[in-house]
Structure 1
Amino acid sequence: MAAMVGLVLLVGCASGPRTDPRDPLEPYNRGVTRFNEQVDAMVLKPVATAYKEVTPAPVRTGVSNFFANLTDVWSFVNNVLQFRLEGAASSFMRVNVNTFLGLGGVLDVASEIGIDRYRQDFGLTLGRWGVETGPYVVLPLLGPSTVRDTFALPVDMVGNPVRYVDPTSARNSLYVLRAVDARANLLRAGSVLDSAALDKYSFTRDVFLQVRSQAGSAPYDKDKDDSERDAKDGVLPEEPPPADAKTR
């Protein structure tokens, strides 16, 4: 909430005539980005690396599937709020199939049988009904966002099923596991951008805004999601394998 109040105070400030019109808060955003990178280097990335090294791949996949299934619950609600009937129906079926046939969401049975994922959140719901994204903003610890998405965060928090898990110790453990799993997924990306050759901040901002502007109106595209996550980590996608190489 303190960050949101700060945004209200900062949103009218521009950094100069050369400022990207989507990013009038660039000096502030760059400062927060540096803070986030320091926290990541000292805490998040080492923990995620250790998690990936000691946890078998099938277990990590199951963890990711479990949290993705919880995300589908909130996507269903937002698809309904947006009157996206196809997305709502798909989200409803995904949650039921994966919960009951996929061992609580550990197995992604719905994707295997061709049920598309329509990922939504309250920020996209506001956009559906005409609320502009507003300036780009980087949130402490949470990373890239926009003013609209930042003000939607409290609603998204209420819609997070983990919020209602009891006891508190179990709920907090799930929050930590989700954060570590999300960070571990970023480790699949390629080499870190060379800051001398490319402005990592601008790259992150441009990719995030592009992916976000295309989100919500079509079935979930894993390649686009990977691009957004790679941007948050400041990395370029890995080079594609040769045409005759075995791919997933």
Structure 2
Amino acid sequence: MNNATWLYKVGLALLLGMTLGLGGCASGVDRDPRDPLESYNRAMYSFNESVDNAVLKPLARGYNYITPAPVNKGVTNFFNNLADVRSAINNLLQFKIGRAFSDVGRVAVNSTIGILGLIDVASNMDLPRYNEDFGQTLGVWGLDSGPYVVLPFFGPSSARDGVGVVVDWFTDPVTYVEDDAVRWSLRGLNVVDKRADLLNASRVLDEAALDPYAFVRDAYLQRRQDQVYDGNPPPEVYE
């Protein structure tokens, strides 16, 4: 087991321990019942922001500066194509057979005609992206999201979606690249590419939100409920 994998598993174990053991620690200051770990979450949010400002934002800006727009789009398409594999598995687990076949069709078309996914041919063939993950699958199976939790480096999540992150790790084709250098280079490129795509959104958040932490939390939880119910959640979900 290499060091990076070991650290990842240790981090997840610590997260689960904090989620199970610190539920009552912030009871004196918490106001949102969905966020019983608010004190811990705010501290982790600040930590992630510090890492983002010191490392990820500069890398993302440099990446945008040196990468031509068509290449940038191709990289995004490539990783979206890999994510469609995960989506197909989760649509199948949710018994959404038509969507699962659509995801498989996207992977087949984009991996061949689209040159390993660099070109998104499937979207022009009316094969939409569904982007399903295991956290959504657990929600479809009826598992409540549980408490909101901010994961180190990963960001906004919940107890349910934290479990989903672990399963999604093993349904990501990059996990099975045998060469360590190639595998971690791909993961690093994926992170930087995603962060570069979100530069404008983070700028709007910094300028518009009085409490960025609460804004991100509320937006995340609402979006996840919307995804679980395929865009049509019952009104009581938001209560």
| TM-score interval, smaller chain | 0.7 to 0.9
Question: What is the RMSD of the two structures over their aligned residues, measured on CA atoms?
Answer: 1.7
CA contact (8 A) 2:140 2:229 kept: no
What is the one-letter code of the residue matched to 2:156?
A: P
Query: Following TM superposition, by how much is the alpha carbon of 1:217 offset from its aligned partner in structure 2, in angstroms?
Result: 4.5
Residue aligned with 2:149, SS: strand
Aligned letter for 2:227? Answer: A
Task: Give the structure-2-normalised TM-score.
Answer: 0.86
Separation in structure 2 between the aligned mates of residue 217 and residue 162 of structure 1, nearest angstrom: 28
The one-letter amino acid of 2:119's match is L
Matched, 1:29 2:69: no
Q: Give the equivalent residue in structure 2 for 1:117.
A: 129
Relative distance call for 1:151 and 1:12 in structure 2 (3 A) is farther
Query: 1:1-38 CA deviation, whole Å, 9 max, x = no partner?
Result: 22122211123444337510111111110000110011
Counterpart residue number, 2:141? 129
Alignment match, 2:170:
158
SS at 2:227's partner residue? coil
Segments of 5+ residues of structure 2 without an aligned counterpart are: 1-11, 232-239
Per-residue displacement from partner, 1:207-231 (whole Å, max 9, x unpaired)? 1111111114448xxxxxxxxxxxx
Matches within 5 A, 1:72-221: 72-189=84-201, 190-194=203-207, 198-218=210-230
Q: Taking structure 1 as reference, are residues 180 and 200 closer, same or farther at Cα in structure 2, changes over 3 Å only?
A: same
**Range with bigger deviation, 84-93 or 33-42:** 84-93
CA deviation map 1:100-155 (0-9, x unaligned): 11000000001112111111111111111111100111011110000111122221
Residues 146, 160 of structure 2: 8 Å contact kept = yes
Determine the C-alpha separation between the residues in 1 that align with 2:93 and 2:23.
28
Instruction: Please name the residue that 2:82 is paired with.
Output: 70
Q: 2-side partners of 1:18 and 1:166: how far apart?
A: 45
Question: Per residue, is there more helix in 1 or in 2?
Answer: 2
- CA 1:133/1:161 → structure 2, altered by over 3 Å: closer, same or farther? same
Cα distance in 2 for residues equivalent to 1:114 and 1:98: 13
Per the alignment, residue 231 of structure 1 pairs with none
Deviations for 1:153-183, whole angstroms, at most 9, x for unmatched residues?
A: 2211111110011211100100110010011
The unaligned stretches of length 5 or more in structure 1 are: 220-248
Which of 26, 50, 54 in structure 2 is aligned with 1:38?
50
**Deviant stretches of 4+, over 4 Å:** none
Residue 188 of structure 1, CA deviation: 3.0
Equivalent-residue separation in structure 1 for 2:160 and 2:78 (angstroms):
28
TM-score relative to the length of structure 1: 0.83
Give the aligned length.
218
Q: 1:12 to 1:90 in 2, by over 3 A?
A: farther
Checking the alignment, whether the CA contact within 8 Å between 1:48 and 1:183 is kept in structure 2 is yes
Query: 1:97, 1:129 → 2: CA distance?
Result: 30
C-alpha separation between the residues in 1 aligned to 2:37 and 2:229? 28
SS at match of 1:137: strand
